[in-house]
Amino acid sequence: MPDDVKSWLMALPLVAVLAFFLILPIIMIVIVSFWGATEFSIYPAFKLENYQYMFGSPVTYSVFLKTFIYAITTWFFTLAIGFTVAYFLAFHVRTLTWQVTLFLVCTIPFWTSNIIRMISWIPFLGRNGIANTALINMGVIDAPLDWLLFSDFAVVLAFVHLYTLFMVVPIFNTMMRIDGALIEAARDAGASGLQILLNIIIPLAKPGIMIGSIFVVTLVMGDFITVRIMSGSQSANVGRLISNDIGLLQYPSGSATAVVLLLTVLITIGIMLRFVDIRKEL
């Protein structure tokens, strides 16, 4: 049996799952995005109305803009926090045992429920929550802040809370592979800590930074549930637009939005992938 065939046979179960539950659904969404809908059902057709309506509505543009703003803001904070945490773990924690232990402490929340982790912010951010009470007691503010919960602030805070880990893991991974001799050599040659960081560590950690960025940006762009829970249904991103259409059984119009969202995400990743060869970095 030729090797190529053998490899495909081994990958067959995987290919079958992806074919039926990924490729076919995408094709289906593209097809349905040209269909028509009544109040209760959808029917096959070939019309461009769904797209015309979407591109003709100003809501679409503001919602896409909002989606990008969420993505960029979250990306900035997760990168800043994630890089610092990974840097601390990789270069300041000295024994491997402690590195692994602290790394696990950072990773464990990832394996618990996102929805619960979102809900957990309610007692912190609510009108009578911990944050407001503390600020009032300290005399910083006189009246409770209303924008802490159910606001864009809460949405981004939850995103950062949920997804910083996706930065920590790949950045830590690339940092651990940096040869200590390089850093020592730089130090012997008189480089300051800042110079080592800027000229050695950041360039060598770039693949990890890119992989983390891809994760965070795509997760935020595709999200609909965090925005719904944390904004108290007051803000909308593209995901919520789609989920609203689904709720109203307007599958064709939801599908059209989904197609545009998918293209946007893929183009964004395509641009980011130009900076890194993921396969080499695993």
Partner 1 sequence: MGEKRPTSFYVLGAFFCLFILFLYGPTITIGILSFQGPQGGLTFPMNGMSFHWFRDLFQQQAVGDIWGSFRRSLTLGLMVMITTVVFSVMGGLAFRKRFKGSTILFYLIITSLVIPSILVSLGVGLIFNQLGWDVHWATSGFGSQLTWTLPFGLLIMFAIFNRFDPSFEEAARDQGATPWQALRHVVLPIIAPSLIGVALFGFTLSYDEFARTLLTAGSYNTLPLEIFGMTTNVTTPVLYALGTLTTLFSFLIIGTFLAIALVSQRRRARIISKAGRDVA
Minimum CB–partner distance for residue 262 and partner 1 (Å)? 6
CB of 60 or CB of 218, closer to partner 1: 218
Minimum CB–partner distance for residue 119 and partner 1 (Å)? 6
- Give the SS3 label for residue 140: coil
Minimum CB–partner distance for residue 241 and partner 1 (Å)? 10
Which secondary-structure segment (H or E) carries 37?
strand 36-37
Is residue 232 within 8 A of residue 18, CB to CB? The reply is no
CB of 12 or CB of 185, closer to partner 1: 12
User: DSSP letter at 35?
Assistant: -
Q: How far apart are CA 133 and CA 56, in angstroms?
A: 46
CB of 109 or CB of 152, closer to partner 1: 109
Q: How far apart are CA 47 and CA 31, in angstroms?
A: 10
Q: How far apart are CA 93 and CA 96, in angstroms?
A: 8
Minimum CB–partner distance for residue 274 and partner 1 (Å)? 14
Minimum CB–partner distance for residue 64 and partner 1 (Å)? 13
CB of 24 or CB of 248, closer to partner 1: 24
Q: How far apart are CA 153 and CA 73, in angstroms?
A: 10
Is residue 107 within 8 A of residue 99, CB to CB? The reply is no
The backbone torsions φ and ψ at residue 42, rounded to the nearest 5 degrees and listed phi first, read -120, 150
CB of 207 or CB of 254, closer to partner 1: 254
